[in-house]
Structure 1
Amino acid sequence: MKRITLATALIIALSGCQTAYYSAMEKVGIHKREILVDRVEATKESQEESQQEFQSALERLSTLINFDGGELQSAYEQLNSDYESSLASAEEVSVNINKVEDVAQALFDEWQDELAQYSSANLKRESEKKLTQTQRQFDRLLRSMRSSEQKMQPVLASLKDNVLYLKHNLNAQAIVAIRGEFKSLQTDIKSLIDDMNRSIADSNKFIEQMNASK
């Protein structure tokens, strides 16, 4: 019970921090709608960076499975560096998606609450219609973002397996074993990059829709 209480308190505290942040930004003329667009843009950019990191790791593995003599310790260190970079970029993507979801929820809650302030039934109806449309557009975007986010985890796990195996088996047999796993990982990374491309395209579309409806 104590653990649940502490977790709940932390969530409330973080929520309060975000609320204060949005309030402070509004005082200088930056509203939740603009913050949402900026955060979608930031998420898109982090996905593009993550694509590059995963592609780099795949290319490193491709070079490794064709290893023909030399220092395997150096090859391990390079692959481990690629894995760490991929992990860091994936974590940044997740953080950015969470930020997008947070500000979107705050925007939609505020929008819903303010519907009650209309005196004009026609304007209220139009605003409510626009809210529903924007929520649907955002829900599609969020599903796309979360889908690509989920696909990163098995790829990271596979990369880590290869790094660990090479770390403890710096010999030709390790290369043979990694070579056997390469095709599957190659397919997974290609699928991930394709999924990210769809998410990036959805982000661009959402940003255009938000800017067009200002």
Structure 2
Amino acid sequence: MEGSIRSTKSQPVTSTGPTVEPTCLGSSSTEVAVALQKLITEVIGTYMIVFTGCAAIVVNKITAGSITHAGICVTWGLIIMIIVYTLEHISCHFNPAVTITYALLRGFSWKQVPLYIVAQLLGSILASWTLTLLLDVTPEAYFGTVPSGSDAQSVVMEFIISFILMFVIFGTAFDERAHNQFAGIAIGMTILMNALFAGLASTLHPFFPPP
């Protein structure tokens, strides 16, 4: 989101709304420093999101459901909201889907997309590694999800909830007409809402009947 949540009229915008990003990482030392700052922010933000959300899942499984599914959903929604408000003035993608969508809308250079995705993957891997060191992550406490129905059902579900999330992000955080000071709340609540129903469709326990 690159600070566009608190954008002003003086910032250049494209016809689709998002703030125009530089076409490359820049050649001057200042531009390189800014680019590195954004990539480090992507690592840190993704780390905090994955660590917090997945920790809730692991602890819930280790403690036989003390956090509950609703508690896990709230945890994901809260950490997303916190990170957006904390880091959006530097960089605030934290998800390859956001980075790619931003590039498709021509508000972000395609040359930067691989670097951002690598930074996000690095943050996720470091968070997962930290959890394995701190908690007893047994196969039973695995914090990933396994489709309960068919692969096709899972793909359709992921497409729908990803569309909803991208729709909210780019409708609240990038559109100059939006009251984008509330973007963090809207995005966090969208994550919470999606997790409430889609999370149950991606567990080890049956939710959808087999086709």
Q: TM class, shorter-chain normalised?
A: 0.3 to 0.5
Q: Scaled by the length of structure 2, what TM-score is found?
A: 0.32
Please say which structure displays the higher CA radius of gyration.
Answer: 1
TM-score scaled by structure 1?
0.32
